[in-house]
A and B are shown apart, each in its own frame.
Chain A
Amino acid sequence: MRVKVGELILALGFLGLMLTLYLAFLWAPSVNINAFESPEAQRIFYWHVPAAWAAFIAFAVLFVGSALWFFKRSPLGWKLHIAGSEAGLACGLMAVWSGCVWGAAEWGTPWDWEDWRLNSFGLLTLLALFLVLGRQSQPDGVESRDTFSTFGLYGFVLVPLTYVATRIWVIRHPGPVIGGDEDSSISGDMALVLLIGALSFTTLIIGHILTSIEITKFEQRMDRLQKKLDGE
């Protein structure tokens, strides 16, 4: 069977993630042991930040797809909506899970219900979960697509809110390491591993979106065949 572009990109992204793991564990420099309760757990940052970055890309795709379907009735828009919600859920869960692992080691608790960044990102991931499960449980139709697209459109409000949360309401989640204030900086080696991680997650998510679009096309072909068989 021929290998498709989406599958190739997915495989490339996955290999990149394996490389990121290797570099994060065995090559990236250790942090100052006095600065953290659990200095080794800090290495999860090379996974957590790229996963959150990829989730934001997926939520942007979800927003664009929802808008295209809702305002233009674009079939491609609906495919992007599905791909964005699935990829957003996967990357969102990765970011939440890795954050909980770090929080448990560093703070002594996996979650802080008073922290804006944690809760707004958690809500975004729950929104993606709702869209994925909702689509699977509802019959496909104009009304259900409109409803899910509306959630995709309004849910995107949480993206900029989550992005600025650590700049405005610094509670427990660490502030930005890149693009923050003058104190926010990381060493060259750390930045390189972070960049490889971000590129790998981005590649993976592009591969996922392409494959997901392909699957939606197949589902629609299947639906057409079913209707033909039913004599409609």
Chain B
Amino acid sequence: MNRYAIAFLLVAIGAGPAFAASAVNNDSEPRTLVVTEGSTKSDLVLSPGETVDFCPAGCFVTFPNGDRQALTGSETIEITGGQATIN
């Protein structure tokens, strides 16, 4: 019985939350992302070292160095030196 319970728990965890894209700022100064979600454009400010979840349902992002990307909501973004790397 316990085996099944544990298996179920593990599956529930594994199926788990990749519900929103997350961005982490690895720089030592705040960076701003311009996020266009739906019909609104907003500024997302990341303080140094901060990780933020955003964009659960697809959006367009403009990075500090002018690069643009489209996100679906399951990516992890690292910002280093103004440049962004998407995993």
B and A form one assembly: no
- Residues of chain B touching chain A, judged by Cβ–Cβ distance below 8 Å, are none
- Residues of chain A touching chain B, judged by Cβ–Cβ distance below 8 Å, are none
